[in-house]
Amino acid sequence: MDSPSPSRISRDRRAASSRDASALAEAYQRVRAATEALAAPLSAEDQVAQSMADASPTKWHRAHTTWFFETFVLGPGVADYAPFHPAFAHLFNSYYVSVGTMHARPQRGLLTRPPLATIAAYRRHVDAQLLALLGGELRLSGGLARDELLARVEIGLHHEQQHQELIVTDLKHLLSHNPIAPVYRARPEDARGVAAPLDWIAHEGGVHELGFAGAGFHFDNEGPRHRVFLEPFALASRLVTNAEYQAFIDDDGYARPELWLSDGWATSSREGWRAPLYWRADGRVFTLAGERARADDEPVCHVSYYEADAYARWAGARLASEQEWEIMARASSPLATSAGVFADHGRLHPAPAAASTSGEPAQLFGDVWEWTSSAYAAYPNYRPLPGALGEYNGKFMCNQFVLRGGSCATPRDHIRATYRNFFYPPARWQFSGIRLARSP
């Protein structure tokens, strides 16, 4: 068969690029609308307040995700593009040192100006420009190839989905400090589900390949694919429940230094931890639907790595490594059959695990992020993305631990078996929970 001519290859690539751009335009509108839907129930006061240095106001999240598209796509990609406002490059940069200065993170809640109406106009402006770019209506600058621009749009969409989860978790932390326990999203009281009995799913270990492979989007920290050797292990069939964690508390778990890592004991003592974040002394718990009676069979959440590790030691088990978790996740059925609650359900709260009929772990995906024992580090032969986007993941590979599986605040199409989340060990405001592991 004759080889295709260069002009034929060029036409094919343009056609593929056009199809990719059309799909990206649809995804772009869907993701951006999801962010606005999260913000819609909030007042101006709700959107500007900041409850701690680790959290950001909803208004800032809406502006920062827009800044990402403007800075990394429109600025270098569109000929003669003029930024919406010159000050926004400073106000809404997060941590990209190589592209300029930034407003101090702990002071984002002081940005009462620009007002919400200006942020909404900023989003509309960038949306119009991005969609025109994807539709081929704007002249490219020549600084970036069109395929690279499309790749950056895709990164930006997944980046915005990460910030959608942060909007939820940051807002929950903010509202929890209000003594009237505000309701963000009302939902009826649940019928009290019963968690399936805890069982152990064994794995023989051995040599396996880990990391992302094949087609589809992934972040740079999910690769390269590489081999690991694992000793035999077993993973708990479901997540640890509130009732099981209450037993740890009742057994003076927070007062027994032999259960805790040294840094964890020091942090817990200094912060006065006696229960997971949002637990109330009267047996109630703060949720985004207001205060509710704590349900025994729901997965415990809003615990730090230190608490997860102490609980595992008290239970005579341990936390899984991220390699063990990924091996088990890849060996299980597709995500649809081993998943719990995602942001798409609208519940924004974990649910009890149903009994598994497949002999596979339940809730590997959704409900709560699962702390692993693995430090967040580079895979063998890892290379960050070139340029400023190389700051996205690689520079944070120090002093943090990996979490896997997503949560009830994670968009379902954002998660996969190779996805690596990471937080500092004292962090508790994310939907983070516990799955036990053990060795033979």
∠408-414-417 over CA atoms, to 5°?
90
- Higher pLDDT among residues 243 and 17, named by residue: 243
200-438: what CATH class?
alpha beta
Distance, CA of 291 to CA of 3 (rounded, Å)? 67
Q: Is the pLDDT at 19 greater than 90, yes or no?
A: no
For 285, how many CA atoms within 13 A lie in the half-sphere containing its CB? 20
Distance, CA of 21 to CA of 151 (rounded, Å)? 10
- H or E element at residue 372: strand 369-375
- Amino acid making up residue 351: A
Q: Is the pLDDT at 1 greater than 50, yes or no?
A: no
Instruction: Give the pLDDT band of residue 192 (cuts 50, 70, 90).
Output: low
Q: Is the pLDDT at 187 greater than 90, yes or no?
A: no
Cis peptide leading into 182, omega within 30 of 0?
Answer: no
Helices (H), 272-415: 305-314, 322-331
Q: What is the pLDDT of residues 85-126, one digit of tens each?
A: 999 999 999 999 999 999 999 999 999 999 999 999 999 999
Distance, CA of 279 to CA of 309 (rounded, Å)? 19
Q: Is the pLDDT at 358 greater than 80, yes or no?
A: no
Q: What is the pLDDT of residues 38-86, one digit of tens each?
A: 999 999 999 999 999 999 999 999 999 999 999 999 999 999 999 999 9
∠336-340-342 over CA atoms, to 5°?
90
| Burial track 335-346 (b if 16+ CB lie within 10 A, e otherwise) | beebbbbbbeee
Provide CB contacts within 8 A for 1, sequence distance 6+: none
Q: What is the pLDDT of residues 402-413, one digit of tens each?
A: 999 999 999 999
368 secondary structure, DSSP code = S
Provide CB contacts within 8 A for 46, sequence distance 6+: 58, 171, 174, 175
Q: Three-state SS string across 297-316, please? A: CCECCCCCHHHHHHHHHHCC
Give the residue from 319, 336, 348 showing the smallest Cα distance to 415.
336
Q: What is the pLDDT of residues 317-351, one digit of tens each?
A: 999 999 999 999 988 766 655 578 999 999 999 99
Give the residue from 291, 295, 265 showing the smallest Cα distance to 278.
291
Q: What is the pLDDT of residues 152-169, one digit of tens each?
A: 999 999 999 999 999 999
For the chain, percent of residues with pLDDT exceeding 70: 93
- Higher pLDDT among residues 4 and 281, named by residue: 281
Average pLDDT, the chain: 92
User: Is the Cβ–Cβ distance between 152 and 217 less than 8 Å?
Assistant: no
Instruction: Give the pLDDT band of residue 202 (cuts 50, 70, 90).
Output: very high
Domain parsing of the chain, residue ranges: 6-176, 200-438
pTM of the model: 0.94
Distance, CA of 160 to CA of 28 (rounded, Å)? 10
- Please say whether the structural domain 6-176 has been given the CATH code 3.40.50: no
Residue 66 backbone dihedrals phi, psi, to 5 degrees: -70, -45
